[in-house]
Chain A
Amino acid sequence: MVDFTVNGTDKSYDGDEAMPLLWYLRDELGLTGTKFGCGIAACGACTIHIDGEAVRGCVTPISAAAGKAVVTIEALSKDGDHPVQIAWRELNVAQCGYCQPGQMMQAAALLATTPEPTDDDIDEQMYGNLCRCGTYPRIRAAIKLAAAKAARP
């Protein structure tokens, strides 16, 4: 039995604790905002927060969440108004949008520790998040815009 919270709600899981959080969130809880892209921590589509840190849900077993707080894109903010989400909309970052929940979760974690990221910071922290549509130039711009918004809301 593993106890943890998902988006603020208490959960108790009684099953294969080796199952990656990704499949638990998507298949069992219906939180499909967290995406599957590779299953081997090579694309970042499944990025979620555990105790505020960005992790890959596809390789994180449920057991690793014991006693911790899991947050998904659905709860990054209450009404979709995290600075990252606002910036993403303002610059129309998305193309297909499939990678973007993972990108935003990673970007939010980056800004939490690095409020004024440089291009190098962004490249380093966002390296693991693939976007096949090629939205990287706008992701860079949106992270900087979100940083500015967070600084003077």
Chain B
Amino acid sequence: MRPGIAADAKTQALGASSELSRRTVLGAAAALIVSAALPTGSLAQESNAPLKFGRDAMPNGWRDDPRVFVAIDREGIVTVTCHRSEMGQGVRTSIAMTVAEELGAEWSKVRIAQAWGDETRFGNQDTDGSRSLRHFFMPLRRAGAAARIMLEQAAAKEWGVSASEVRAEDHMLRHAASGREAGWGEFAERAARLPLPDEKSLTLRPAAEFRYLGKDHTGLIDNHDITTGKATYGIDVRLDGLLYAVIARPPVFGGAVKSFDGAAAMKVPGVLKVFAIEPSPPPTEFNPLGGIAVVAKNTWAAIKGREALKIEWNDGPNGSYDSAAFRASLEDAARKPAKPVRADGDVDAALAGATKRVVGEYYIPHLAQAPMEPPAATARVANGTCEVWTCTQAPQATHDRLAKRLGLKPDQVRVNVTLLGGGFGRKSKPDYVVEAALCSQAMDGAPVKLTWTREDDIQHSYYHTVSVERIEAALDEKGMPTAWLHRSVAPTIGSIFVDGAKNELPFELGMGLVNLPFAIPNVRIENPEAAAHVRIGWFRSVSNIPHAFAIQSFVAELAHAASRDPKEYLLELIGPDRILDAVKLGDVWNYGEDPSVYRLDTARLKRAIDAAATGIGWGRKLEKGRGLGIAGHYSFVTYTAVAAEVEVTDGGIAVRQVDIAIDCGPQVNPERIRSQMEGAVVMGMGLALSAEISFKNGRAEQGNFDAYDLTRIDAAPRILNVHLLPATTFDRPLGGVGEPGVPPVAPAIANAVFAATGKRIRALPLNKEFSA
């Protein structure tokens, strides 16, 4: 570890590495010495292959070195290092299960430690895109298997028998012929000194032997800490002499402080310092927005101090941003031809010759991720080093932005990762961590905790884009489409990286827009330009949300126009069972995965739709005022479908039952897949029914949970069934889990509302149409 930084390891939020280096034998201690000279052969990105996909294509690739991920101490306790951020998806449990399985460990003797931000050592750590297990399941299995083989070899050497006759299982080492056995602690030290087994000799456990993978019984590895209040999130970190900060940021994106007077703020008891933080020039990227910081002896004093600030702002070019007027401009753009991003056949001719044409125009407003734990970070910038403790989805990006802004070398910065109280994409952008470091710097190196209040979070988010999706179809005499013209207009996430960017990027287009899996001969998809007036960022499921809402609502509209059952119509539109190549559909991105491995299988999509429909009892008789709706969607190389039953009364829309089906390939941790689906339904309901961020004069009109209306327990359906569609074997590629549940929720509910009332609502949130 690095001098000057390691000394503080005991204060690490999750207590990972100091503990390890003191106690452990196989793994950490040795690995710390070895890490500088890790064999480059394990660096996937150095392969000569011309095209890279999946984990090979991620920044800094992947590692499978057991010395990085597995440590065993003299008592035989196994500590697995989790290099992905835990934000509720269960990755710390799933990674521990994966390594424990290959090792043959007893669950009660498995611990988890959180990695700091260091992709050279751990491989890619960006916890986003629903890909932690998709990318690291196999490398981590290999790490566990290699550690198991090293234990077996160490015992074999001591016992004078062949290593192939020694088995590591049930947390023991056994030699059947001689009846010898020993615990792991006894051999951990000797195992650590052995060379790594060569790649070809690694045997993975067959699925038939699995005790943890695909099973439900381990429980959350952090359960006890969470239920006793001991779990440490970014906002909970404490250091000796800690100071507390909040920042007043420009209320309009691109604005700046014109002048300020901090005298009254300085009079608030406990306030220590008031100072300006310079905004960065565009593009805004992950940089702080600038503003006036208040540092105090506790958070309350800092908040009171901020209230006492007198600040005059320059609003800048976005001072007139008005989301209602902007919607009209997006609608205008959606009604005019624009650059095609996919074109099959002759859409214009088919539209011109159609007997029936249907048009739908859909609107999805801005949203804020609003994780329950707002952005927060603790930093100490002193003696030419910077150390931070924070809830981040992007530890390496955080590390790099800190080094850049502070002018430090990479090895002078350390990013300790805590638990995240939710992320949903917001915590992929480390602006708040850089702010904390600037505060510590301004306090001459005293440690400072920066907290975003909820108002800060909701009014300065990296918002989910706002979009208008216009779809027009020509129907034949049977009511099936012969032509499909979709214009998607939405400010792009690219605008935070390239100032003025106006078109959706391949990864946005690939989220359920161009990779439309329907059997329609003539398809044209266009992407008119749209300027961004706020910071646009990833929000769980990202562009799949508007695309799925529009497309799956429109399909139900077509079914209605054709007087057909919406589920049967959707299945027929998806068409015959076939395997689609994303690239041939115009999706060059394919979630970053190899299109020859990850293909869009229409049979799997239909199977998910059928499972959701069967679950809810599709076609059953309903009381008056009730209706069923359905939607299916492919995202993050996973297939999901939602069927919803709603009741619409004078009081509004009530969701009575939801059935959600998912086919994500092999299921590592089915219990967490179910919980992710439950959560996706609730989050999807929030954006379907009530959540919206609107802007006037460039300012967000909502500031807290009184106005930004998210789903509460009374609105959560009393019946919520999750249907996990089994994969046949563990050899199939894994799909994503964290995000794919969300997109089909809103269209299923909108379709159910139509079935209940005959009223088609094409704008989210739906409640707006029903509240007086």
Contacts and interface: CB of A to CB of B under 8 A. Distances in A.
A146 to B, nearest CB: 11
A92 B238 contact: no
Contact of A96 (B372, B454, B683, B711): B372
Interface in B663-688: 671, 675-676, 678-683
B269 A89 contact: no
A30 B235 CA distance: 12
Nearest to A92: B220
Q: Decide if the interface of chain B is mainly helix, strand, loop or mixed.
A: loop
A88 B227 contact: yes
Interface in A50-85: 72-74, 76, 80, 85
A96 B440 CA distance: 28
B269 A43 contact: no
Among A92, A132, A140, the most chain B Cβ lie within 10 Å of the Cβ of: A132
A19 B424 CA distance: 31
Contacts of B671: 92
B678 to A, nearest CB: 5
Contact of B228 (A23, A37, A73, A137): A73
Contacts of B424: 132
A13 interface: no
A96 to B, nearest CB: 3
A15 B301 CA distance: 11
B89 interface: yes
Contact of A30 (B222, B238, B711): B238
A28 B424 CA distance: 30
B704 interface: yes
Contacts of B233: 35, 98
Interface stretch (B124-132, B482-490, B714-722): B714-722
A16 B227 contact: no
Interface in B71-109: 86-90
B419 interface: yes
Given A89-B219, A122-B713, A98 B372 contact: yes
A129 B220 CA distance: 22
Nearest to A28: B298
Chain B interface size range = 35 or more
Among A31, A39, A104, the most chain B Cβ lie within 10 Å of the Cβ of: A39
Given A40-B704, A88-B227, A96 B713 contact: no
A128 B420 CA distance: 22
B644 interface: no
B41 interface: no
Among B220, B229, B301, B705, the most chain A Cβ lie within 10 Å of the Cβ of: B229
B100 to A, nearest CB: 17
A132 B710 contact: yes
B226 A97 contact: yes
Interface in A33-49: 33-40, 42-43, 45
B463 to A, nearest CB: 16
Contact of B244 (A19, A27, A122): A27
B745 to A, nearest CB: 10
A31 B89 CA distance: 26
Chain A interface size range = 35 or more
B714 A133 contact: no
B238 A96 contact: no
B221 to A, nearest CB: 11
Contacts of B676: 95
B371 interface: yes
A100 B224 CA distance: 12
B229 A134 contact: no
B372 A127 contact: no
B712 A36 contact: no
Among A33, A40, A98, A122, the most chain B Cβ lie within 10 Å of the Cβ of: A98
Interface string A114-128: 000001001110111
Contacts of B219: 89, 92
A140 B713 contact: yes
B441 interface: no
B624 interface: no
B228 A134 contact: no
B244 A136 contact: no
Nearest to B233: A98
Contacts of A132: 370-372, 422, 424, 683, 710
B675 A92 contact: yes
B224 to A, nearest CB: 6
Contacts of B232: 32
B675 A135 contact: yes
Interface string B237-278: 010000010000000000000000000000001100000000
Contacts of B224: 80, 89
A92 B89 CA distance: 12
Among B87, B244, B269, B421, the most chain A Cβ lie within 10 Å of the Cβ of: B421
A92 B93 CA distance: 12
B669 to A, nearest CB: 10
Contacts of A140: 713, 716, 718
A73 B713 contact: no
A26 interface: yes
21 contacts: A20-B300, A33-B228, A33-B230, A36-B451, A80-B227, A89-B223, A89-B227, A92-B219, A92-B671, A96-B371, A97-B419, A124-B714, A128-B712, A129-B713, A131-B372, A131-B682, A134-B678, A135-B678, A136-B682, A137-B678, A137-B716
Across chains A and B, which 3 residue pairs bring their CB atoms closest together, nearest first? A33-B229, A134-B682, A98-B421
Interface of A: 15-16, 19-20, 23, 26-28, 30-40, 42-43, 45, 72-74, 76, 80, 85, 88-89, 92, 94-101, 104, 119, 122-124, 126-140
